[in-house]
Structure 1
Amino acid sequence: MSIYDPVRGFRKLAFNNALANYRLHQACRQLQPGEFEAPRVSFFPSIRSTLNHILVVDRFYIDALQGGSLGPAAWADPEPYKNIDDLTIEQGALDKVLITLTDDLAAEELSSEVLIHRQQRIQRERFDDVLQHVFQHQTHHRGQVHAMLAGTSVKPPQLDEFIVADDAKFRQDEVAALGLDEKRLMQAGSFL
């Protein structure tokens, strides 16, 4: 058994994030005209609004994790993408940034300070806490989109097959479509 790697879980969650977003976006690309932006009952009023919210908040926190100062400018336009194709491209790019960020992360960086630029102040947080928040935020809102899809012509996709090795057979199409490698995915979290 190898030595404990405290970054392992974050790497796995970054892959999970990209794969789940991809699968969810692919489902949304199958929506009938009008369903993407149709009013729905949830925290945000539509699938489009919710997916845009995920993207905007990702921009905000990923920028902070990279040492940037984007701050509230990230949500100047709360719905920057009106169609699923453009939104999917941008979310995929951010997901790849998050994978690279965790791939390059050293264990000692987990306790480093992240400066988050807010309206009138700088919020100071631990790097690992901000990463956990990003993943929790994504999961929370993906679940809302998943529930909203139940009221559309598209069956909500399975979103929880992206962590354990035994589920590789269920994610192989998404891994290939994203240009990822199952071996690399498992190395990110291998205990062997």
Structure 2
Amino acid sequence: MITAQFVLTMARYNAWQNRQMKAAMEALGEDECKKDRGAIFGSILATANHLLWGDAMWMARFDGGARPQGGIPESVDMTARLPDWALERFRMDGRILLWAEALRAVDLVGDLKWYSGAQGREVSKSMALCVTHMFNHQTHHRGQVHAMVTAAGGEGWTSDLAFMPGEGPWL
């Protein structure tokens, strides 16, 4: 389904996107990022927190490291301030990159088993599907943040994978 090279490309893309999202959020300002915008998680910061929480949850399953506190309802409160979010986002992007750099083809084979708090039961899914889902989840919520930032009068950012800077091969 996917390769280790694809995962590394997506990890690099994630970090690039988050750097741009951080700059757009900082330019907008913390007060604007905390305003309820009517999105599923409310504000820009709350949505960015949920994304950070989701990455932490998936990475705990993938690399065995620390998992975030609480469930989906608490995910919006992962950090209280924009600078705190930026620091944790930087750390998480580094964690994802280090994991992706060490990934081997065999690591993507087989099933991942975990207890899903959202579903209230044990779940088993293809590892490759779960990794793909993590990157898809990131893109989905960054798209929501992009829409809220631009609706608030802020600058959007380049999201085209084909225009990510750096050396190939990409896919």
Same fold (TM > 0.5): yes
Does the CA-based 8 Å contact 1:114-1:125 persist in structure 2? yes
* CA shift in 2, pair 1:69/1:92, >3 Å: closer
The corresponding residue for 2:156 is 156
Residue 143 in structure 1 maps to residue 162 in structure 2: no
Moved over 4 A (4+): none
Which position in structure 2 is the counterpart of 1:65? 62
* Counterpart AA for 2:146: H
Q: Which has the higher helix share?
A: 2
Q: Structure 2 vs 1, CA of residues 102 and 32 (structure 1 numbering), >3 Å: closer, same or farther?
A: closer
What is the aligned length?
Answer: 167
Whole-Å Cα distance in 2 between the matches of residues 76 and 93 of structure 1?
22
Overall identity of the aligned pairs, in %: 24
Q: Hey, what's the Cα distance between the residues in 2 that align with 1:33 and 1:94? A: 21
After TM superposition, list the pairs within 5 Å mapping 1:24-63 onto structure 2: 24-32=21-29, 34-63=31-60
Greater Cα shift, 68-77 or 18-27:
68-77
Q: What displacement does 1:10 show?
A: 1.2
Q: Is the 8 A contact 1:71 1:117 kept in 2?
A: no
Deviations 1:111-169 (A, max 9, x none): 13322222343322222111100000000000001000112242112222xx44xx36x
After TM superposition, the score normalised by the length of structure 1 is 0.77
* Equivalent residue number for residue 106 of structure 1: 104
Residues 55 and 135 from structure 1, CA distance in 2 versus in 1: closer, same or farther, beyond 3 angstroms?
same
2:116 counterpart residue number: 118
Of 69, 72, 85, the match for 1:87: 85
Amino acid in the other structure paired with 2:107:
E
Question: Which amino acid letter does the alignment assign opposite residue 126 of structure 1?
Answer: S
Larger Rg computed on CA atoms:
1
Deviation at 1:74, TM superposition (A): 5.5
Give secondary structure in 1 for the equivalent of 2:32: coil
Q: TM-score, normalised by structure 2?
A: 0.85
How well do the aligned residues superpose, as a CA RMSD in angstroms? 2.4
Q: From the superposition, tell whether residues 49 and 26 of structure 1 become closer, same or farther in structure 2 (CA, over 3 Å).
A: same
Unaligned runs of 5+ in 2: none
Aligned residue for 2:15? 18
Work out the CA distance in 2 between the residues paired with 1:11 and 1:33. 31
Cα separation, 2, equivalents of 1:146 and 1:106? 33
Q: In 1, Cα distance between the equivalents of 2:12 and 2:138?
A: 13
Q: From the superposition, tell whether residues 101 and 122 of structure 1 become closer, same or farther in structure 2 (CA, over 3 Å).
A: same
